[in-house]
């Protein structure tokens, strides 16, 4: 709440004292001057952004921030993470409290057009689903008429839920909590019959239950939820940097560049690899970055596949399959424009 107020005060202050259009290109300079990237993440969602027992942040959203830090500052560890609730996130970005938002945020038309923000791509394709206790004996969401639903405030989930139940002529009552921790607590206490959220979050929240095997995720996926990093509108240079940091990881996977072989790949004869890693072309300086920008990303953070498997995939407790998030050449929809 305090952070919310601080963020709002920030918006007001920015609104009051900033003078017009002095924003273009200011984010890159600010980050370089500070020597640190300030990145907004969630308050704790395993697989996406969560602090471990030593206070170090891990997750796919965290790695997305680290990739940008590697590209801009040459060091993936120069990131300060600011945990934000769903309610606080856009205000924090608008007010300039954070440089970018990487907080499992769904790209929608309203958010992209009316908030003064730009979505810089998609780092995880998701969809909304339902989780129930196995003891309830339900096999499909269509059997859930009359149910109570635990839900986190300030998410697209609330709207999808209302649409889905109305479309299917079913009744529900929603219990709205402030953070995902409170939501899973309410579900665990039996306040609701089901918990609804993006499918990846359901798997992630399930690991927080005392007995994860007592709960199950229903097969229905009721919405499209493309999650990705967000930046302020009006700073195109910074927008490009965040967008292409993400694309660099996807392209690296496509060309078979990994953190292990990136040094050998620098000598590759493949012009695509050479262009990306800065040995044959100067993509970096065009964006105001070092020409080793993509090399730094892959060396320090890895390519998209490494990031995915480490945080949410088979190498993590969540064990989510690539599915939609596989490369376009492997049956998924993860696709990056060519780096040339």
Provide the 10 A C-beta neighbour count for residue 169: 7
At a CB cut-off of 8 Å and minimum separation 6, what does 242 contact?
68, 100, 120, 121, 229, 231
Question: With respect to another protein, which residue has the nearer C-beta, 9 or 56?
Answer: 9
Question: With respect to another protein, which residue has the nearer C-beta, 166 or 340?
Answer: 166
Report in angstroms how near the CB of residue 290 gets to another protein at its nearest: 29
Angle ∠(321,324,330) on CA atoms, nearest 5: 85
Phi and psi (nearest 5°) for 16?
-80, -45
- CA pseudo-torsion sign 250, 251, 255, 257: negative
How far is Cα 161 from Cα 153, in angstroms, rounded to an integer?
Answer: 12
Question: With respect to another protein, which residue has the nearer C-beta, 110 or 213?
Answer: 110
At a CB cut-off of 8 Å and minimum separation 6, what does 278 contact?
284, 290, 291, 292, 293, 294, 295
Report in angstroms how near the CB of residue 291 gets to another protein at its nearest: 32
How far is Cα 268 from Cα 256, in angstroms, rounded to an integer?
Answer: 11
Report in angstroms how near the CB of residue 98 gets to another protein at its nearest: 15
Question: With respect to another protein, which residue has the nearer C-beta, 41 or 147?
Answer: 147
Report in angstroms how near the CB of residue 178 gets to another protein at its nearest: 6
Phi and psi (nearest 5°) for 37?
-95, 130
Report in angstroms how near the CB of residue 321 gets to another protein at its nearest: 31
Question: With respect to another protein, which residue has the nearer C-beta, 35 or 210?
Answer: 210
* Cross-strand partners of 230: 101, 119
Question: With respect to another protein, which residue has the nearer C-beta, 116 or 285?
Answer: 116
Question: With respect to another protein, which residue has the nearer C-beta, 57 or 177?
Answer: 177
Question: With respect to another protein, which residue has the nearer C-beta, 222 or 307?
Answer: 222
**DSSP letter string, 34-72:** HTSEEEEE-S-BTTTBEE-TTS-EESHHHHHHHHHHHHH
- How far is CA 332 from each of CA 48, 121, 268, rounded to the nearest angstrom? 20, 16, 27
How far is Cα 283 from Cα 300, in angstroms, rounded to an integer?
Answer: 19
Report in angstroms how near the CB of residue 327 gets to another protein at its nearest: 33
Please choose, from the candidates 237, 264, 230, the residue with its C-alpha nearest in 3D space to the C-alpha of residue 90: 230
Question: With respect to another protein, which residue has the nearer C-beta, 18 or 321?
Answer: 18
How far is Cα 51 from Cα 65, in angstroms, rounded to an integer?
Answer: 14
Burial of 291 (0-12, 13-18, 19+ CB in 10 A): middle
Report in angstroms how near the CB of residue 305 gets to another protein at its nearest: 33
Which residues of this chain interact with another protein, rule CB under 8 A?
Answer: 8, 11-12, 14-21, 23, 86-87, 90-91, 94, 110-111, 114-116, 136, 144-148, 153-155, 158-159, 161-163, 165-166, 172-178, 182, 185-186, 189-191, 193, 232-234
Report in angstroms how near the CB of residue 158 gets to another protein at its nearest: 4
Report in angstroms how near the CB of residue 261 gets to another protein at its nearest: 43
């Amino acid at each position: 709440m305090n952070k919310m107020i601080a963020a709002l005060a920030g918006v007001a202050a920015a609104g009051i004292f900033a003078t017009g259009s002095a924003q273009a290109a200011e984010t890159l300079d600010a980050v370089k001057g500070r020597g640190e990237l300030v990145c907004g993440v969630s308050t704790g969602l395993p697989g996406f952004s969560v602090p471990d027992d030593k206070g170090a942040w891990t997750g796919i959203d965290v790695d997305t921030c680290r990739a940008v830090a590697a590209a801009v500052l040459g060091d993936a560890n120069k990131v300060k993470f600011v945990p934000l609730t769903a309610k606080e996130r856009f205000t924090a970005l608008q007010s300039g409290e954070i440089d970018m938002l990487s907080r499992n945020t769904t790209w929608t038309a309203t958010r992209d057009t009316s908030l003064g923000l730009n979505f810089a791509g998609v780092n995880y394709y998701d969809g909304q689903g339902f989780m129930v206790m196995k003891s309830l004996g339900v096999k499909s969401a269509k059997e859930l008429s009359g149910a109570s639903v635990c839900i986190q405030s300030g998410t697209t989930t609330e709207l999808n839920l209302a649409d889905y139940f109305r479309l299917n002529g079913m009744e529900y009552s929603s219990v709205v909590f402030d953070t995902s921790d409170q939501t899973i607590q309410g579900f665990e206490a039996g306040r609701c019959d089901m918990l609804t959220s993006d499918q990846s979050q359901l798997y992630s929240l399930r690991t927080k239950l005392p007995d994860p095997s007592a709960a199950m995720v229903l097969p229905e996926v009721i919405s499209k939820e493309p999650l990705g990093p967000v930046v302020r509108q009006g700073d195109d240079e910074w927008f490009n940097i965040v967008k292409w940091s993400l694309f660099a990881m996807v392209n690296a996977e496509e060309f078979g560049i990994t953190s292990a072989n990136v040094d050998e790949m620098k000598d590759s004869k493949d012009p695509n690899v050479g262009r990306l890693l800065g040995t044959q072309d100067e993509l970096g300086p065009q964006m105001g970055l070092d020409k080793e920008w993509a090399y730094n990303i892959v060396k320090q953070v890895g390519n998209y596949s490494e990031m995915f498997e480490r945080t949410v995939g088979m190498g993590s407790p969540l064990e989510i399959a690539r599915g939609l998030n596989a490369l376009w050449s492997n049956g998924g929809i993860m696709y990056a424009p060519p780096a040339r």
